[in-house]
């Protein structure tokens, strides 16, 4: 490996590690808010599919983004989680809420 190539690898690695660490931190923060939101707002009106998709999002390290809120309660909870995520320092684009159909 040339000195230039080695230097590029060394310079890229810390940023890449920081990016992974920040993603993990955002997911940790988001994952802490989710049970609090469920306790506060309850599960009435939340479908098993919505809950399972959301749990899968957290279990994936917050990498999958395919949770589709459909009922008024799911939409309200998605709104709450979006605001909570932003308050925790994440961007609104971090949340998993999207309906593809």
| Whether the model pTM is above 0.85 | no
In this prediction, what percent of the chain has a pLDDT beyond 90? 62
Name the residue with higher pLDDT: 83 or 1: 83
Give Cα separations from 65 to 11, 24, 39 (angstroms): 30, 15, 23
Question: Residue 67: beta bridge partners?
Answer: 97
9-21 pLDDT, tens per residue? 444 445 445 566 8
Does 10 fall in a domain?
no
**Residue 18: predicted pLDDT:** 57
Q: Which residue range is the domain that position 34 belongs to?
A: 23-94
Question: Residue 97: beta bridge partners?
Answer: 67
Does 11 fall in a domain?
no
pLDDT at 1 over 50: yes
Q: How many domains does the chain have?
A: 1
């Amino acid at each position: 490996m040339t000195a230039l190539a080695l230097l590029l690898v060394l310079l890229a690695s810390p940023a890449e590690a920081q990016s992974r660490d920040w993603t993990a931190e955002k997911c940790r923060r988001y994952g802490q808010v989710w049970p609090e939101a469920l306790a506060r707002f309850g599960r009435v009106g939340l479908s098993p599919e919505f809950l399972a998709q959301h749990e899968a999002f957290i279990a994936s390290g917050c990498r999958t983004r395919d949770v589709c809120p459909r009922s008024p309660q799911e939409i309200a909870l998605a709104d709450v989680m979006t605001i909570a995520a932003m308050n925790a320092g994440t961007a609104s684009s971090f949340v998993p809420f999207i309906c593809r159909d």
